[in-house]
Amino acid sequence: MSKIFPATKDAIEKAATLLKDGAVVAFPTETVYGLGADATSEQAVLGIFAAKNRPAVNPLIVHVTDWAMVEDYAETNARAKLLAASFWPGPLSIILKRKKDTKLAEAVSAGLDSVALRAPAHPVAQQLIAALGRPIAAPSANRSGTLSPTSPLHVEKSLGDAVPMILAGGKCAIGLESTVVDMTTETP
């Protein structure tokens, strides 16, 4: 039985419920399909590493709806805010220092004192983050070491039973991962 669901309002709500319950869910972004988990749940984030067979020393990108959500989890600065204002929502990930009291799972940063964040432009990704009400940790939805998926069928072929639900949002417009800019230093 296929785990691919058209990204209707009901399916997005079902995916958000799965995320709230600690499961992983695949969803479209404008770059590639992501394998998402509640970024505030250590157990859920560890589920990403298990599903992908990803080394735990490889940090994850945290997807947010907007800059206001970033301010809840990371130490911000004017340069990073300007960069986000210029390129978000879109295929840009910005690395910032984690807030000391952040509710983000430690595993998203793989032991680093920083976190990569981005606001995806894909409407399904935005709706899913909003439905969860928290950021979603989401690397590409494929086994580590394989090509990043640009369609729901690619996700299903790569991850199989490791993912209980794949939200279908068409083929990814860009097909490459986001650009990453480290804004934790004086020179990006």
Asked whether residue 1 carries a pLDDT value surpassing 80, the answer given is no
Q: Which whole number is the average pLDDT over 85-103?
A: 97
Asked whether residue 2 carries a pLDDT value surpassing 90, the answer given is no
Closest CA to 60 of 76, 77, 41, 78: 41
- Between CA 37 and CA 17 the distance in angstroms is 11
Tokens 């032991």 appear where?
Answer: 111
Residue 13 pLDDT class (50, 70, 90 cuts): very high
**pLDDT tens digits for 120-169?**
999 999 999 999 999 999 999 999 999 999 999 999 999 999 999 999 99
pTM exceeds cut of 0.95: yes
